[in-house]
Amino acid sequence: MNRQPEWLDNAVFYEIYPQSFKDSDADGIGDFKGIIEKLDYIKELGCNSIWMNPCFESPFGDAGYDVSDYYKTAPRYGTNEDLKRLFEEVHKHDMHILLDLVPGHTSVEHKWFRESMKAEKNDFTDRYVWTDSIWEEPTGYGSLRGISDRDGSCAVNFFSHQPALNYGYYKPDPDKKWQQSMDDEGPRATVEEIKNIMRFWLSVGCDGFRVDMAGSLVKNDEDGKGTIKLWQNVRDFLDREFPQAAIISEWGEPDKSLQGGFHMDFLLHFGPSHYNDLFRCGNPFFAGDGDVSRFVEKYKENYEKSEKKGLICIPSGNHDMDRLARFIHGDKLKVAFAFLLSMPGAPFIYYGDEIGMRYVEGLTSVEGGYGRTGSRSPMQWDNSVNAGFSTAPKEELYIAQDESPDRPTAFAQMSDENSLRSEIKRLIGIRRSHKALQNRGEIEFVYAEKNSYPLAYLRCMGDEKILVVINPSDKEVSFECDYEPEQKIYSFGGEISVNHGKITVPAEFAGFYRAV
């Protein structure tokens, strides 16, 4: 893997869902100018990097993940020039910003797809995965059928209005002539166009990309070898033209994403990571009555596969997950963030999680959100109209807000030293002042027993060793430890006691200690 850009070494990301963050023009939908207005807020929290969800032209059948033009911003957010200004303002704040790249599919409204539907062969005939007959569907995928004069069915990703772009088959079936190899002209043209898109926005001023469904591009690619090869091709292009550009993958298999040239990979809420065991299941570990052991075992496996490079990112949540505060409450949220902000890899804070925004129950789906809609409600800034998100009439808001009289707001929490946001700000400050706690510091798990508390691990960089002890349970617990906590760096919820190698930990506690 190419050496990652230095700015990633201590990056703490803030995820912005642009339509729900800040509305500057009273149309009920967030926009670029609204984001610019709130950069000081993000910077003051301590975050120095931003991941912004898709902002390109789209019919918004899937909240912008159905792109109709990769080279134009969605008018509801502003113009290309407005986005360029956002990049400039982010950089003036000594911050970085990643765009969300969706390479696996487009909208059915994309001009590429309209051209590919034509019966006459053209430059876009092979831009998508089509069979040769309307009566045959691509195995393992849904399809669009009977929608054009072209004879064939087109594979889709996820929703039926998202036709799959063609990167070829790693092992084409010789009996299915429509299955193209990765080296065929169509798949190669698709890869080159993705490079062109990246080249365009990096030249405008973005700092890289979070790549949606990065491991899913090449078909019939069980071991990921074809997709790894594809991203190695992209990595070579970036190394030549944009060596400071960061790419972070939604893949969930760090050993593969590392080979492909990604700088970091997300632990996902689906798949084998056991991420949900921590925050979102029947008995989450951070709710005080769960099990962390399977997560730790899987994390250690991925950590070794990724050569201990600080590749694995653990988010507080994102636009596809239930809000953290749906399952974890009160001081346990602070303990959860002590964990999130003391692990290797870049932390990602989903907008509003820093104030404990709640999942809004019972909402009708908005723009393909379905059960995810309740996690996408507008940011709650203050106690003014629409919680400071927008001056549009309430019924015109992109998504309905939390109507609870005690809903948390950023303004109230910024002035309260005991708030969740204030605790997160302290934690980020501590992380940034200790290299052992930053993204590339190594980790050794000290205590992570099945159905037991606490969780303890050692973070190391050079001569610095920091013991992290996490106990979200309601009970005082003890564990044997070979490392002696010598000096307190941070604690929340009381103090530990040490007696002949046995450490006793208070309930709902988090602490960081220099260790010997």
Averaged pLDDT, 257-284: 92
Give the residue from 431, 456, 480 where a domain finishes. Answer: 431
Backbone angles phi, psi at 134, to 5 degrees: -60, -20
Q: How far apart are CA 248 and CA 99, in angstroms?
A: 10
> Residue 362: inside a domain, yes or no?
yes
> Residue 173: inside a domain, yes or no?
no
Tell me the pLDDT tens digit for each residue of 445-463: 999 999 999 999 999 999 9
Q: According to the model, what pLDDT value does residue 460 have? A: 97
Give CA separation, 478 vs 453, 455, 504, 505, in Å. 8, 11, 4, 6
Q: According to the model, what pLDDT value does residue 97 have? A: 98
Pairing of strands 502-505, 497-499: antiparallel
CATH number for position 65: 3.20.20.80
> Residue 182: inside a domain, yes or no?
no
- Whether the CB-CB separation of 253 and 215 falls below 8 Å is answered with yes
> Residue 172: inside a domain, yes or no?
no
Backbone angles phi, psi at 477, to 5 degrees: -135, 165
pTM across the whole model: 0.97
pLDDT greater than 50 at residue 14: yes
Q: According to the model, what pLDDT value does residue 1 have? A: 46
- Whether the CB-CB separation of 378 and 20 falls below 8 Å is answered with yes
> Residue 171: inside a domain, yes or no?
no
Give CA separation, 139 vs 70, 170, 336, 466, in Å. 28, 14, 42, 51
* CB-count exposure of residue 240 (10 Å: 0-12, 13-18, 19+): exposed
CATH number for position 153: 3.90.400.10
- Those residues whose C-beta lies under 8 Å from the C-beta of residue 405, and which sit 6 or more positions away, are none
Both 343 and 462 in one domain: the answer is no
- Whether the CB-CB separation of 32 and 89 falls below 8 Å is answered with no
- Whether the CB-CB separation of 25 and 373 falls below 8 Å is answered with no
* CB-count exposure of residue 27 (10 Å: 0-12, 13-18, 19+): middle
Q: According to the model, what pLDDT value does residue 2 have? A: 54
Averaged pLDDT, 482-492: 96
Q: How far apart are CA 514 and CA 516, in angstroms?
A: 7
Both 459 and 476 in one domain: the answer is yes
> Residue 214: inside a domain, yes or no?
yes
CATH number for position 471: 2.60.40.1180
Token code pair at residue 356: 């404990």
* CB-count exposure of residue 5 (10 Å: 0-12, 13-18, 19+): middle
> What average pLDDT does the structure give for the chain?
96
Q: Alpha helices of 341-384 — where are they, by DSSP H?
A: none
Both 260 and 331 in one domain: the answer is yes
Q: How far apart are the first and last CA of the chain?
A: 33
Both 39 and 124 in one domain: the answer is no
Both 117 and 238 in one domain: the answer is no
Both 346 and 470 in one domain: the answer is no
pLDDT greater than 80 at residue 22: yes
Both 117 and 78 in one domain: the answer is no
Tell me the pLDDT tens digit for each residue of 186-242: 999 999 999 999 999 999 999 999 999 999 999 999 899 999 999 999 999 999 999
Both 354 and 423 in one domain: the answer is yes
pLDDT greater than 90 at residue 309: no
> Residue 470: inside a domain, yes or no?
yes
Both 288 and 198 in one domain: the answer is yes
Both 69 and 192 in one domain: the answer is yes
Averaged pLDDT, 402-417: 97
> Residue 60: inside a domain, yes or no?
yes
pLDDT greater than 90 at residue 173: yes
Both 226 and 367 in one domain: the answer is yes
Q: How far apart are CA 226 and CA 168, in angstroms?
A: 9
Strands (DSSP E) contained in 149-245 are 154-155, 208-211
Angle at 278 between CA 273 and CA 279, to 5 degrees: 115
| Amino acid present at 245 | A
* CB-count exposure of residue 476 (10 Å: 0-12, 13-18, 19+): middle
Domain span holding position 65 = 6-103+187-431
The percentage of residues in the chain with a pLDDT greater than 90, rounded to a whole number, is 95
Angle at 77 between CA 75 and CA 79, to 5 degrees: 55
- Those residues whose C-beta lies under 8 Å from the C-beta of residue 81, and which sit 6 or more positions away, are none
Averaged pLDDT, 277-287: 97
Which residues is 511 bridged to in the sheet? 469, 491
Residue 338's pLDDT band (cuts 50, 70, 90): very high
| Amino acid present at 51 | W
Distance of CA 270 to the CA centre of its chain: 13
Q: How far apart are CA 403 and CA 207, in angstroms?
A: 37
Both 335 and 478 in one domain: the answer is no
Number of domains in the chain: 3
